[in-house]
Amino acid sequence: MCFARGPCWSNHQNGSVTTFVGPPDCDASRSCGTLRLLMRLGLLQLNPMVGDLQGNLEETLLRARAAADAGAQIVVGGELGLLGYPPRDLLLREGVVESCEHAARRLAAELPEGLVALVGSPRRTEDGSLRNSIGLCRNGVLEQWFDKRLLPTYDVFDELRHFTPGSAPVHFEHLGRRIGVLICEDLWRAEDVSFERGYHEDPVDAVRSAGCDLLLVSSASPFMLGKRTRHLGRLESVARDLGADVVAVNQVGGNDDVVFAGNSMVVASDGALRHESPAWSSDVSVVDLEGTTLRTPPGPEPEEELFHALRFGLADYCRKTGQRSLLLGLSGGIDSAVVATIAAAALGPENVTGVLMPSRYSSESSLVDARELAENLGLAAAVELEIEQLHQDVRDRLHPVLGDFGGIADENVQARLRGLLLMTISNDTGAMVLPTGNKSEMAVGYCTLYGDMCGGVAVIGDVLKTEVWALSRWLNLNHERVGLPRPPIPVSSIEKPPSAELRPDQKDSDSLPPYEELDAIIRLRVEEELSLATIVERTGLDAATVRHWVELLDRNEYKRHQAAIVLKVSPRTFGRGRPMPMALRWTPLSG
């Protein structure tokens, strides 16, 4: 099929498919007198449901057919697109892998005539090993498999638990071109994250040795703040190094604790960005490899990225698990205000209920702020349930055992009573409770098990307190961009000193250092696992202060093991990606 740039050259919408080519029936010889063989690629940036083999297959076929109708000659999907990523131990279940292979063959048989498709699926080899693979579907058959070579085991990944690394082949021939095929980490090699892993092999070398003039990469690379910029940099470098066009198709969607932004990209052999699919939405684009080069758009602000990742992760979790409504405690503080705002943006304010649960220590200003927030967001309801009588009943009941107890025990009674009320409402209404704790609090245990830690998804559990403040200000300044009619968060919630309000005149600063200092310690210890001495050197803080908070971080691992899942947005997130021992006392050798 021959096409040429000419008067018919255009960008246009064809249903749900964006095309960046001339129409398929373009008569190039009449328009410009030049014949040129072009290749049109369909980028299937889809949002699979893990395990929904029938649904994922139907969606892939539907989108592949739409891309073919728009002129695509090859379509590329995301990593393990038929099963969904990450499948984790679902791969161990009897019949799962075999069903995936059958689905890949069925896809090949039902594709439009002449269309080539690269589709992700697990497969089992003749020796019984399991591979993370891409199937080449052509002429009605599953013609060839390409296996992932680099299997990540860092952070949230544990692919060596299930898969065996592949080797050959790395390319196929089509329309006179030699086309390389790699899978996710084969290209990124952990260079898209903020730390080195030191792979000995670079699969790009095999693509270079094969003399490929086009590289197609099927990916499921989870979101992390700043990763888009690193992705683009890696693609530009590889394209220039190979002297070949590079196409990376990334999964979109939220699956449990990980979120995938999409941002599929096409980079020309000179390193210029030719196409970028939109973030945070399923998308099918048909791109002409000879199309117009785009000006590289600036990356979004960190707070904008953070908001969309949290909103999208929460919304997709609810959609995929069947949660239709949300419930959270509103304290009048900044954390619950930000979580409520994200919840309202994710499911709609009509599906979010706030519950005010004042105690004898709650200030009137906090109640005013909580009510104002609920009104600004237009929540379904803002229920007020005082816990004073319940609190006193518990104290009276325990008096024969504990006497007039106070301190942490009394503070935690209040937090657990609030958790009890929220979980009871959840049981009766079906609404999912959202804990409102941030990463700084989770790090040092400034949170209560079975109290304010109750809930299904810790929306800001990977967001440091200083980042919560920055996000709240961004939300107020940009409320219209995120679909909110007015600035949602009361200014006093942002500006007042943070307090749990569990004892008279309590302030976070009574128990914690300034959050700027605490967050610096947490970031260096959790995200980089630096030693105490290096943290002291980097921060300039007193060694005794750093030692105290580093030790407290370790001692509170048991709480985090019982916490709700945390939406991952940073390089290292509490939970699956940071499996630390609970019975731990790290004492390095002296001298």
The question of whether 236 is a catalytic residue gets the answer no
Cα–Cα dist 151/162, whole Å: 10
DSSP character at residue 297: P
CA distances from 255 to 321, 418, 495 (A): 10, 29, 35
Q: What's the distance, CA 97 to chain centroid?
A: 25
Asked whether the beta carbons of 472 and 482 are under 8 A apart, the reply is no
The question of whether 8 is a catalytic residue gets the answer no
Q: Pick the catalytic residue: 100, 137, 148, 454?
A: 148
Asked whether the beta carbons of 180 and 170 are under 8 A apart, the reply is yes
Task: Indicate the SS3 state at residue 277.
Answer: coil
Q: Phi then psi for 354, rounded to 5 degrees?
A: -100, 145
Q: Pick the catalytic residue: 100, 184, 318, 454?
A: 184
Cα–Cα dist 185/396, whole Å: 59
Q: What's the distance, CA 310 to chain centroid?
A: 8
> Counting every residue, how long is the chain?
591
Beta bridge partners of 285: 18, 43
Asked whether the beta carbons of 257 and 575 are under 8 A apart, the reply is yes
Asked whether the beta carbons of 279 and 261 are under 8 A apart, the reply is yes
Strand intervals (E) in 162-310: 171-174, 177-183, 214-219, 245-250, 252-255, 258-261, 265-267, 273-276, 283-288
Rounded to the nearest 10 degrees, the angle between the axes of helix 515-522 and helix 532-539 is 140
Cis previous bond, 169, omega within 30: yes
| CA proximity to 408, closest of 446, 436, 358, 359 | 446
Strand intervals (E) in 342-409: 352-356, 381-384
Cα–Cα dist 272/384, whole Å: 56
- Kind and range of the H or E element at 527? none
**Helix-, strand-, coil-residue percentages of the chain, each rounded to 5:** 40, 20, 45
Q: Pick the catalytic residue: 79, 305, 441, 517?
A: 79
The question of whether 375 is a catalytic residue gets the answer no
| CA proximity to 122, closest of 93, 157, 98 | 98
Catalytic residues, by residue number, are 79, 148, 184
